[in-house]
Amino acid sequence: MKIIIGTRGSKLAMMQTNMVANGLREHGADVELNIVKTSGDIFLEKSLQEFGGKGAFTSEINEMIVRGDVDAAVHSLKDVPTLLPEGVIIAALLPRASRKDVLISDFKFKDLPTGAKIGTSSTRRKAQLLRIRPDLQIEDIRGNIHTRIRKLKDYDAIIMAKAGLNRLDIDIEVEELDFITSAGQGAVAVAAKKDSEASKIIGKLDHEATRIEVEIERSILGGLGGGCIVPMGTSAEIKDDVVTVDSEVLSLDGKRDIIVKREIALSDYKKGSLEIVEELKKMGGAELVKEAIRSV
């Protein structure tokens, strides 16, 4: 069967798409790539928050699946909204890479000078930084991984996802940060039309442990109404028959936070996820989410 995959053209997107394409070829598929420029690639002067949480890097390619222009799309899962277009599913998740955030700088985090300028386009990272160091000057930084690294000269530090650096084999000194990261960070998703022949073949690439972890994370994110414009992190990690789940919602300035850390049974992880959502809501998490959305 021939499968046409829609993908962005960045080096990381192409690397991830080729990982999927090679896996599909091993299952006998004939794969063709369709490179797409998304709104997030074109409007680099806009902050990601200006896209309103509607998938700056993913929505157009997912709509191509709906129209039948492509059979599938490969995404970094953290960029994918929890609500997909009707009829589109995440047909497979590749084994997860590191979920860590890293600091790239000539300074260690603890040694950053007063008023240091930090580059990140993530509201979550901004709030987490300001919680620790309210003196920091956080500024948007856009572009692909190599572009952002080149822009480091204009900042005292930048923050990125470790997974992308690892996948592109970029040899640069980094410091891992002990942040609760975004739902799905480090995971590569393959979207396709529900019940299509393509989705059945793509499903052979699915990694069960990764799917359970990110299902928990995205159910918590969606349950609170969160998205890329909300400073919210959630991370689930399977260890034997238990899943360790860390979740937090912050105010945009980092001065207020609500944190829930729980272990839930792997055998009943869906129920455990709902309980975490309810606990976050009771503690005021939904109000912080609404506050962040109103500010956009």
Q: Do 84 and 8 lie in a common domain?
A: yes
For 120-136, write each residue's pLDDT tens digit: 999 999 999 999 999 99
The pLDDT score that the predictor gives to residue 183 is: 96
Q: Do 133 and 165 lie in a common domain?
A: yes
The pLDDT score that the predictor gives to residue 48 is: 47
In a domain, 275, yes or no: yes
Cα–Cα distance between 228 and 250 in angstroms, integer? 13
Q: Do 74 and 198 lie in a common domain?
A: yes
The pLDDT score that the predictor gives to residue 227 is: 81
The pLDDT score that the predictor gives to residue 52 is: 47
Q: Do 117 and 152 lie in a common domain?
A: yes
Nearest CA-CA partner of 211 in 182, 241, 189: 189
Question: What residues are paired with 101 via a beta bridge?
Answer: 161, 177
The H or E element spanning position 32 is: strand 30-35
In a domain, 212, yes or no: no
In a domain, 234, yes or no: yes
Q: Do 126 and 264 lie in a common domain?
A: no
Total number of domains constituting the chain:
3
Nearest CA-CA partner of 50 in 229, 222, 288, 225: 229
Q: Do 44 and 120 lie in a common domain?
A: no
Segments of the chain scoring below 50 in pLDDT? 42-44, 46-48, 51-53
Q: Do 67 and 195 lie in a common domain?
A: yes
Q: Give yes or no for a contact between 279 and 264, defined as CB atoms under 8 angstroms apart.
A: no
Q: Do 87 and 105 lie in a common domain?
A: no
Q: Do 264 and 282 lie in a common domain?
A: yes
So which residues are the catalytic ones? 79
Q: Do 131 and 191 lie in a common domain?
A: no
| CATH classification of the domain holding 240 | 3.30.160.40
The pLDDT score that the predictor gives to residue 45 is: 54
For 5-49, write each residue's pLDDT tens digit: 999 889 999 999 999 999 999 999 999 999 987 765 544 454 445
The pLDDT score that the predictor gives to residue 58 is: 82
> In sequence order, what are the residues at sequence separation of 6 or more whose Cβ sits closer than 8 angstroms to the Cβ of residue 59?
38, 39, 81, 85
Task: Report the b/e string of 2-27 with b at 16+ CB within 10 A.
Answer: ebbbbbbebebbbebbebbbebbeee
Give me the domain span that covers residue 273.
218-294
